[in-house]
Amino acid sequence: MSSSPPDQPTVDDAPILHVDLDAFFASVEILDDPSLRGLPVAVGGAGERGVVASASYEARRFGVRSGMASVLARRRCPNLVILPGRFDRYEEYSRRFRDIVTDLTPTVEAIGLDELFADLRGLRRLGVRPIDAAWALRERIENELRLDCGVGLARNKLFAKLASKRSKPIVVGGRITSGAGVVWVDPVLEREWLAELPVGALWGVGPATAAKLHRLGLRWVRDLQAVDEATLAAHVGAAMAATLSAYARGDDRREVVVDRGAKSVGHDETFLRSLRTLDEVRGAVRTHASVVSRALRANRQLARTVTVVARFDDLTSVSRSQTLPFGVDDEGAIAMIGVALAETVELTQSVRLIGLYASSFVERSEHEIQMSFNVDVEPTGARESAEARSRERQIGLEGLRDAIDEVRQRFGRSSLGTLADLGEHGLHVATQRGRNAFGPEQPAPPG
DNA sequence: TCTGGGGTCCTAGGACCC
DNA sequence: TCTGGGGTCCTAGGACCC
């Protein structure tokens, strides 16, 4: 591994670049309000059920990390400034970030708002060296966005991402040490570099898989390098075993994919006070239907599958889905299906989260437009076409009713009404829904 | 310590068709 | 009449990523 010349790699040694903005949301907040500079800042939900989405390095000095429950973050850092997050602003910065990288090469794949991969192979002909390109990129991002970032260069996505992580500032013992800024993984040293990493460093290995691997005595990537795929498959499944074996060898064939279209859209909300009545659940589904429908229409998509998820107070969750023979984007239609699905969930506990998702997108054809009841989107036409529309609309409504009948038939209606037994203070809590993107807000302190 | 909201992918079982 | 096996679609749950 090296971070600077004379080990200048060619494009063939380092065709893949990964950039990751440092403490992105928190950094944008500090840029917009310089009085925050030097303070421990987090963006996230401040309430009892909130989590930290982004933490400034100053906050990290106190052990605050993204994904951490805000309650714990505040315990570690009582002076932590927790801001609610302004996604429009982050999206604006994210777009400018992407534009800068796209100036380098059009082959760019965004991973969330704050990181992306780029394929540098197009630079070969121009004689641009990857490390020079990486430093130039950092400089532009610094000059034009006033944001810091880490850049990784490698033969594939696996190493490029590990490298950009390695390039970043680190916090050790409450002290911030600045990073190299740009890191290149020399192909000759790849395998031994990988061998030293814990299994959890690999893409796709989270807490559950790491625990399984630990139980098998596999703690380091070098352990994975020594175990055969079939043994692995028996414990983590065929696909995961194949991926892990390949990654452990340093083998990652994933391409940089431009414009990976979304396969689902959805919306969910964790409530400050869990829902206890079916009416509250229905209300949440209807509210979500409006958001999801708007998103579908904005993306000009029609979805055939509607899914409802309920998460209970013990953090277990259940889902119900229904696939229609046609696509919908209409708020009323999505709400009707969503409510019918939600009514099949037995409310044995209070519900802390309700989610509503739409997937299985279909092409928007003339036919589908009418099926979706968006009669307004069509220009006023001949009476004949108006009649046809009306007829199609009727068919669509019938299809919807069929789908709802099917839901009820599949699950029966026995679950209805079980909620009444749940608790005494059912009704008044519905209004206490949080508005925060990262979890419900804390109620205002008295006085 | 106790876990948000945006998503993706995998698995396993059942239904259905050939 | 009873049977098999493969393919595809759908559903539910779980894990993961940022």
Asked if strand B contacts A250 at the CB level, meaning under 7 A, the answer is: no
- Bases along strand C below 7 A from a protein CB: 9-18
Is A439's CB less than 7 Å from nucleic acid strand B? yes
Residue A115 among the catalytic residues: yes
Between A391 and A301, residue with greater pLDDT:
A301
- A126 pLDDT tier (thresholds 50, 70, 90): very high
CB A47 within 8 A of CB A179: no
pLDDT for the residue numbered A383: 57
Q: Which helix (H) or strand (E) holds A241?
A: helix A238-248
| Phi, psi torsion values for A357, nearest 5 degrees | -130, 150
Residue A400 CB: number of other CB atoms within 10 A?
Answer: 22
pLDDT value at position A377? Answer: 37
Confidence of residue A35 (pLDDT cuts 50, 70, 90): very high
Mean of all residue pLDDT scores within chain A? 87
Interatomic CA–C1' length for residue A112 and nucleotide B2, angstroms: 24
Neighbour count for residue A76 (Cβ, 10 Å): 15
| A170 contacts A180 by C-beta, under 8 angstroms | no
What is the structure's pLDDT at A419?
38
User: Residue ranges per domain, chain A?
Assistant: 24-86, 197-253, 264-427
pLDDT tops 80 at residue A2:
no
Across A108-114, average pLDDT: 96
pLDDT tens profile A238-295: 999 999 999 999 999 999 999 889 999 999 999 999 999 999 999 999 999 999 999 9
Contacting residues for A34 by C-beta, under 8 A, at least 6 apart: none
Per CATH, the number for A24-86 is 3.40.1170.60
| Stretch A393-412: mean pLDDT | 81
Q: Does the CB of A438 fall within 7 Å of any strand B atom?
A: yes
- CA–C1' A54–B8 (A): 21
* Environment class of A313 (CB within 10 Å of its CB; exposed 0-12, middle 13-18, buried 19+): exposed
Average pLDDT over residues A153-157: 97
Task: Check residue A382 and give its pLDDT.
Answer: 52
Nearest to A305 by CA among A405, A394, A407, A387: A407
pLDDT surpassing 90 at residue A11:
yes
Cβ(A265)–Cβ(A358) below 8 Å: yes
Instruction: Please say whether the structural domain A197-253 has been given the CATH code 1.10.150.20.
Output: yes
Distances (CA, A) of A84 to A18, A50, A336, A438: 28, 10, 32, 7
Q: What is the arithmetic mean of pLDDT over A71-85?
A: 96
Residue A382 to residue A113: CA distance in whole angstroms = 46
Of A115, A269, A343, A392, catalytic: A115
Whole-prediction pTM: 0.87
- At residue A76, does pLDDT exceed 60? yes
pLDDT of residue A439: 62
Q: Calculate the angstrom distance between C1' of C1 and CA of A308.
A: 44
Assign domain A264-427 to its CATH superfamily: DNA polymerase, Y-family, little finger domain (3.30.1490.100)
Query: Over 50: is that where the pLDDT of A444 sits?
Result: no
**How many percent of chain A have pLDDT more than 90?**
79
pLDDT of residue A116: 97
Alpha-carbon distance A354 to A269, whole Å? 6
